[in-house]
Amino acid sequence: MLFILLSISSLSQNIVPNTKLKNLESEFIYTNDVLNENNFYIVSFWATWCIPCINELDAIVDIYEELEKDNVEVIAISTDDARTKKRVRPMINGKDWNFKIILDENHDLKRALNIVGIPHTIITKGTKIIYRRIGYSPGEEVDLFDFIKEYE
């Protein structure tokens, strides 16, 4: 019985749960409305105070056009809380981030995916998680793209 429970638990962590989040206009959105089953997504969990997170997203900008050509979408999910969420829009306005920005102010998705540290990046095919990485070092953004190419 314990084996079955452990299997179900690990299986559920490989799927992005349908979680209610907000867009930059403070409108509610659900993850299932954002993640199309036929597309690949690079989903980066970040915060305005996290320098490695910002460095990763800045680096992704450099390969973003190539990602778009291959129908790979980038979603940056801010984990800024009530105290720091007001810094998100000014930061984005000062950046060249043309990808989708979503707010996880209550950390619902972060908790559901057992994310404890950021930057935390996942690659999904629709809602299925096929890759996870914690942290960021320069050049690793290219590894994300290479992983998707090999997975296809």
Range of the domain at 86: 2-151
Query: Model confidence over 71-96: pLDDT tens digits?
Result: 899 999 999 998 999 999 999 999 99
Residue type, 52: P
**pLDDT at 4 (0 to 100):** 38
3-class secondary structure, 111: helix
Overall number of domains in the chain: 1
pTM above 0.75, yes or no: yes
Q: What are phi and psi of 49, to 5 degrees?
A: -90, -5
Query: Model confidence over 96-127: pLDDT tens digits?
Result: 999 999 999 999 999 999 999 999 999 999 99
Query: Model confidence over 37-55: pLDDT tens digits?
Result: 889 999 999 999 999 999 9
Q: Which of 86, 88, 74 is nearest to 122 (CA)?
A: 74
No. of helices (H) and no. of strands (E), the chain: 6, 7
Q: Residue 129 sits in a domain of what CATH number?
A: 3.40.30.10
Q: What is the largest CA-CA distance in the chain?
A: 53
CB 62, CB 96: distance < 8 Å: no
What is residue 15's DSSP assignment?
A: B
